[in-house]
Each structure stands twice: as C-alpha cells, then as structure tokens.
Amino acid sequence: MNQKKRILLCVSGGIAVFKAAALTSKLTQNDYEVKVLMTQSAEKFVTPLTFQALSRGYVHDDTFDEPEPDKIAHIDAADWADLIVIAPATANVLGKLANGIADDMVTTTLMAATAPILVAPAMNVHMYQHPAVQRNMTTLEEFGYRFIEPDDGYLACGYTGKGRMAEPEDLLAAIDHHFIRQAHREWHGKRVLVTAGPTVEAVDPVRYFTNRSSGKMGFAVAEEAAARGAHVTLIAGPTALATPHGVQRIDVKSAEDMYKEVHRAYPDTDLVIKAAAVADYKPEDAVTEKIKKQDDVMTLSLVKTPDILKSLGEQKKDQVLVGFAAESQQVEEYGRKKLHEKQLDAIAINHIAKEGMGFDGDTNEIMLIFQNGREVTIPLSQKRDVARHLLDEIEPLITGRGS
C-alpha cells in the first residue's frame, strides 16, 4: 500500500454517474492514481471535464482518439491499471462484456484488460432482476469479474428495490480491501469473531445500566480483519456506528445476549478478539413497570453477569483468544492477571485515564502482552491504525491454525 496504486475507472451511462464522480474524488484524496474512461451515454449525465478536474488526468471517451501517437490508447489504459472498476455498470455494458462486444472506449479497453475487475451494477430493480442481466452477471463472474452488489432503496425511476449503486464510501472500502488482501494472504479464509461496544442492562422499561464504550476500537479491528480477507463476525452492543464493509454484524443488548451469540459462533472460529466493554453486574430483578420516584434513597441489588472471556478460555481448543483490558490504575498488573486467569493468548491493555485513550475517542494506545511474555506497545494513533498494528502483531498466532 506504500506505492501509489493505479485505478482505471470505467463509467457507463446511468444516473449513478454522479456517484462515480464522488468516488473519483475520494480515490484521489486517498492517494490513488485514477484514470477515467467514459461512454458517450455517461457524458449525458456528467461531462468529462468534471472527471478530468477530479482525477487530474485526461478522460478517454473515444476509441479513435489517440492523443499519444506512440501508444494505442485503449491498450495502454488496459495495461496501465492495477485494478479496474466499472461504476456504474449498466445492463447495457454488462451485456456487451458478457457477449464479447467491444464497440466503444470502455468495452474495447475492458476486452484488452488483464487486471482484476470490480463491477458496481446500477439500474432499475426489474432490469436488475431480468434473467438476461442475471445470466450476464453469472457469465462475468465465471470470467473472474467481482461484483459489488447494489443497495436496496429508493431509485431514481421512483421504484424502491435492489438496483441502487453502492455508495462511494463502500466502493472505496472494496478497493482498499482488494489491495490490503493481496498483502495479507495469511488471513484469507480465517474465521474471526470480534465483539465491540457496550452492553445495556435493564432496570425497568425506562432505565438501564451501561458504560461509555462507543465500539470504535472493535469496529476498527473488524474492518481491518475483513480487509485482509478474513470472514468476520462482529457481535456489537448498542452503537450508532455503521457496519464495516465485508463484515457480518449481529446486534445484541445485554451481557447475556452477547454471551449466547459469542458461544454460538465460537466453535467455528479461528480467532476471537474481545474488544466489547461488557457490564460486570446487572440488576438482580429487572421489573416490567416503571419504578416510581418515592424515597430519597433507592437501593438496587446487583448480580454478576456471565464472564464471557473466562468461559471462552475454559472451552478453548485451537482458537486464538485475544482480550482487551481497559484500566485506570495498576494497568499492567491487572492486565497480566486477566491474561493468565482467563487463559488468553494475548491481551491488549489501555490506560483509559490517559488523554486520548478514553472511551468514545478516535485514538488509542495499547500495551499488548502475549502468553509467552512478549510485550509490544502500540503508540497513540487513530484506532484504525491501532487495529492494523494489532493484527500485524497477532498474525503469527493464527498462521497455520484453523481454516
């Protein structure tokens, strides 16, 4: 990922062309080199000048336009790309590619291409469901094309259904994942279980106990593991965060809910990263009616919630088990105690009293301690960077294990 990657963006004619313009902007901002090809139909929606300004490069739209005499433009563009993205991909362009028709700059270039190709379909819901379109997509998958499925939602034609092109953020994530996956083959096919966020323990229908966890650290870990090619299940307590690209998400509320879902997935898991802030106690008796205000003092009886991490350690077979410990004092001592008592392979400890390391922030710093005594400090960084370093450090634990 250190060397600039070259993206050939092929834009065909549909209302989603405006999203392709937004994608071009995001790609250049994220240090990709972008070259844009357009069909004449695409130019009915957005002009080449827009893409030229956003990509900072010449936009090719005519097979017979040869601006460099020493090169054949469509062959040069095909050879230049590290990755090709068709967005939007209309029913028309899918049909041409599936049947070997090359009659414009986009399809001619794609016929000459040997780079991997990502396709983002965009069309009316009934067009998308048409047997011919489905057949063409199946054919292209057999050719090696990879599809980024369209979203369900309101379409420009007024219908609601599947056919809306994936959002630029999702397309960017898919592109990022393509290159990250190439660099981390050890993670391909690994089954990773991540927990994130707080739990909520009910007192009555109105009130509950919870904590300040935002889930950002666990979500960052899940996103990075998925980007590396792992099959990721994210079990999340209540949080407003969006589901990371390529991650299967299961939402839970209480510690008991999380316990059940984690144990349901655990037998088929290679790696567990337990980043959730699970409540240690819950009200002994949650009532079904709202508790009315009465005396100046109210006493609640609390009982322990199930210790998910400890139970995983007791049942561990070939799984790699990594825990988190958020501490405000005697940080290393408490972390080491948790590492050994819960039979973990490693523990990530963070000092929540330090500036930039508390709950709900965008940064973190962790001390990673392994069962064999090895210690690694990941310095204060954005949580996505911390997640990347964390997975780099635990990668040797999963090599040769599991699927």
Binding site listing for CTP: 280, 290, 306-309, 324, 338, 342
Q: State the residue for tokens 């904590």.
A: 211
Task: Print the SS3 string covering 274-297.
Answer: ECCECCCEEECCCCCCCCCCCCCC
**For the chain, what percentages of helix, strand and coil (3-state, to nearest 5) are there?**
35, 25, 40
Neighbours of 87 (CB within 10 A): 26
Query: What are the start-end ranges of the E strands in 157-237?
Result: 160-164, 191-196, 201-202, 208-209, 231-236
Q: Is-contact 339 313, C-beta < 8 A?
A: no
Angle between helices 105-112 and 91-98 (to 10 degrees): 40
- According to DSSP, the β-strands at 320-327 and 346-351 are parallel
**R_g (Cα) of the chain, nearest Å:** 25
Binding site listing: 280, 290, 306-309, 324, 338, 342
Does the annotation mark 10 as catalytic? no
Q: Is-contact 75 112, C-beta < 8 A?
A: yes
State yes or no: cis peptide before 88, omega within 30 of 0. yes
DSSP H or E run through 225: helix 216-227
Candidates 112, 157, 265, 352; catalytic one? 157
Q: Which residues contact 3 (CB under 8 A, 6 or more apart)?
A: none
Tell the burial category of 281 from Cβ atoms under 10 Å away from its Cβ (0-12, 13-18, 19+): middle
Annotated catalytic residues are 157
